[in-house]
Amino acid sequence: MVRRRERRVPPISERRKDPFETATRVDRTGDSASDRKLVTSFILLCIVVIPAVSVLFYYVKNSPRANHTVSQENQRGLIKTDVTYQEILTENTKVSENASHRHYTYPILAYITPWNSKGYEMAKRFNNKFTHLSPVWYDLKSQGNSLVLEGRHNADTGWISALRKSGEALVLPRVVLEAFPKELLRKKKLRDKAIDLILTECQEMEYDGIVLESWSRWAAYGVLHDPDMRIMALEFIKQLGHALHSVPSVRNSKQQHLQLVYVIGPPQSEKLQAHDFGPHDLQSLSAAVDGFSLMTYDFSGPHKPGPNAPLQWIRLTLQFLLGIRNSAAKSVARKIFLGINFYGNDFLLSEGEDGGGGAITGRDYLNLLEKHRPEFQWENNSGEHYFVYSDDNHDKHAVFYPSLMSVSMRLDEARQWGIGISIWEIGQGLDCFFDLL
């Protein structure tokens, strides 16, 4: 079962409104003389629009370049732009014998979801490559005049025990804050209750903290447009972070307190909107939050097919959030987990269709390669591979799925900034991706 990221996008705004427009969008077209001609028609030119001249100047002069480096084994020569479907089908399950060796030395947060059991297996197999593991288990919801934390039935204590016997990765389950925000943020009793529920669960289950997702929910309810409510929202996060920091870790001697990682989305335009999480918010929360899981994916969708996470857009997002790389910026940058998608998208391109397609896992992707034997195209500005195929109804599709080259380039980009990465989610990727970590 494939889910891109459950309940993460505000229902009132499922897709970004042309954020920084830094990558090619794929236009739906009808039949043409050849697939090559079709590809040329919808991805021939990549338009990089950077509205402010000052931003363009800074970017050209100072932005980090993906100074592409490869792991020692070089993935058997597969980190390249001219990869073929035969190579992927043959090599996708092959990984180094030393599964614990880390190539990426900054923190790595990996999400695991109950609906992709492969993620649990990958977390155990490559345990020592991760510093943080976040199983997607909990929702904090309104219940009458109170709150309830749902999800303990998802918790797999046997899996956690196995992880801790073989590695030191912190286990921080994700908690989605579904409670009605106006009630929660305005009432001290409910805020205290929410924090008590989270702390109690961490202590009883011996977690190392939590990953909290709430900003997108608050944006969906419109509370972030109210300046007073926005201040309350930030204060609640601070209160939770300080509460977690006041509780000593039950089982980890190296970590003195429980941790809070907070999920944030990228700004939706050059000019920050009221509901955007911006650089001032980052600075405001830095003392109370141990890490920020930045969702730099889901750039495109069925109505605007294109790359999953264009590299130019990722660079601009980091630039807007972190600004000039001085000592103050570095102290915040070290808390960023740059989002990297291990899922892909299969978009319908047929003329007259109002969008179609969606997320696919590695298994879906390999099935498409076996059936259609496509020719890969490399899109330079987005730094992603894609291919086009026709289904049994002769409808055209464009498939964007991570490759060793695209993942490696994003790791290099994060390395240039001195930041960690977060992977959504490890049950959806190919085995060979883990050799890069």
pLDDT tens per residue across span 262-307 = 999 998 777 888 899 999 999 999 999 999 999 999 999 998 999 9
Look at residues 14, 127, 51 and name the one whose alpha carbon lies nearest to residue 434: 127
pTM metric for this prediction = 0.86
In 332-435, the DSSP E strands lie at: 336-341, 344-348, 357-360, 377-379, 384-390, 396-400, 420-424
Residue 3 pLDDT: 60
pLDDT tens-digit readout, 137-195:
999 999 999 999 999 999 999 999 999 999 999 999 999 999 999 999 999 999 999 99
- 256 vs 224, residue with greater confidence: 224
Strand duo 377-379 + 357-360: pairing? unpaired
Residue 269 pLDDT: 76
Residue 159 pLDDT: 97
Alpha carbon distance 248, 250 (integer Å): 6
Question: If you search the block for the tokens 């338009």, which residue do you land on?
Answer: 47
Strand duo 420-424 + 108-112: pairing? parallel
Question: If you search the block for the tokens 């209750």, which residue do you land on?
Answer: 193
Contact 405, 79 (CB under 8 A): yes
- Comparing 180-184, 325-329, 342-346, the range with the smallest average pLDDT is 325-329
Alpha carbon distance 260, 243 (integer Å): 10
SS3 content of the chain, % helix, strand, coil (to 5): 35, 20, 45
Alpha carbon distance 227, 31 (integer Å): 51
Residue 315 has pLDDT above 80, yes or no: yes
Alpha carbon distance 56, 142 (integer Å): 45
Alpha carbon distance 245, 258 (integer Å): 5
Residue 22 pLDDT: 47
In sequence order, what are the residues at sequence separation of 6 or more whose Cβ sits closer than 8 angstroms to the Cβ of residue 135? 111, 112, 113, 114, 154, 155, 156, 171, 173, 174
Residue 281 pLDDT: 95
Task: Specify whether the backbone of 418 is left (phi greater than 0), alpha (psi in -120 to 50) or beta.
Answer: left
The H or E element containing residue 138 is strand 132-143
Give Dmax over CA atoms of the chain in angstroms. Answer: 66
Contact 137, 155 (CB under 8 A): yes
Residue 73 has pLDDT above 90, yes or no: no
Question: How big is the chain by its Cα radius of gyration, in Å?
Answer: 21
Residue 52 pLDDT: 33
Q: Which residue intervals of 97-153 are DSSP H helices? A: 118-125
Alpha carbon distance 175, 180 (integer Å): 15
- 84 vs 330, residue with greater confidence: 84
Amino acid at 368: L
- Comparing 94-98, 119-123, 337-341, 403-407, the range with the smallest average pLDDT is 94-98
- 48 vs 34, residue with greater confidence: 34
In 21-112, the DSSP E strands lie at: 108-112
In sequence order, what are the residues at sequence separation of 6 or more whose Cβ sits closer than 8 angstroms to the Cβ of residue 182? 221, 223, 229
